[in-house]
């Protein structure tokens, strides 16, 4: 039977997977056209038919952070799981700090680009730099996802161990 600690961990894995899917989608579908020709391409985020991807991020970030904290608390007695959950939580917190200090302010500048006196070439360079750095941030988050899967695979004493045949 699944225990609370396993359910908390599975929820963290699910939410982090959704978050990673959003990152990949945004970087393949949304950001290339949006950042390709600022200020003209800012029409994607301005006007009556603007896309508002911030609703997704404002919903998923608190859920993912809270689920990781809940997983850490629920698995606090299992040393391996505690470590495997602390890794992505730490990386995620650092990514949120970087997002707050650089990525979101720059996105606000991109949004306001029509009213700013910046050349198209500079906007393009800034957009490309933003995308490169964001791919690095996303890659680090993806790599930090692996320990969550290791934690689930380890199973501790909850009945999810490989020797029990459950996984």
Predicted TM-score (pTM) above 0.85: yes
Phi/psi zone of residue 118: left (φ > 0), alpha (ψ -120 to 50 degrees), beta?
Answer: beta
Say if CB 68 and CB 89 are below 8 A apart.
Answer: yes
Cα 134 to Cα 117: distance, rounded to the nearest angstrom: 25
- The set of residues, in sequence order, having a beta carbon less than 8 Å from that of 86 and lying 6+ positions away, is 72
- Mean pLDDT, rounded, for 28-35: 95
What percent of the chain lies above the pLDDT cut of 70? 93
User: For residue range 90-136, what is the model confidence (pLDDT) as tens digits?
Assistant: 999 999 999 999 999 999 999 999 999 999 999 999 999 999 999 99
pLDDT at 157: 52
Evaluate if residue 144 carries a pLDDT over 50: yes
Instruction: Tell me which of 18-32, 59-73, 146-160 is least confident.
Output: 146-160
Q: Given this model, what pLDDT does residue 158 score?
A: 47
């Amino acid at each position: 039977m699944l225990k609370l600690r396993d359910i908390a961990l599975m929820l963290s894995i699910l939410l982090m997977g959704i978050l990673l899917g959003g990152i990949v989608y945004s970087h393949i579908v949304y950001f290339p056209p949006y950042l390709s020709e600022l200020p003209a391409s800012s029409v994607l985020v301005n006007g009556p038919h603007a896309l508002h991807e911030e609703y997704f991020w404002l919903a998923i970030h608190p859920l993912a952070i809270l689920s990781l904290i809940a997983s850490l608390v629920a698995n606090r007695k299992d040393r391996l799981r505690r470590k495997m959950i602390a890794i992505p939580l730490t990386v995620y917190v650092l990514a949120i700090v970087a997002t707050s200090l650089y990525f979101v302010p720059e996105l606000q500048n991109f949004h306001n680009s029509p009213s700013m006196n910046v050349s198209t070439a500079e906007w393009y360079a800034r957009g490309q730099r933003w995308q490169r750095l964001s791919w690095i941030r996303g890659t680090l988050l993806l790599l930090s996802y692996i320990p969550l899967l290791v934690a689930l695979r380890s199973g501790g004493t909850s009945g999810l161990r490989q020797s029990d045949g459950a996984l």
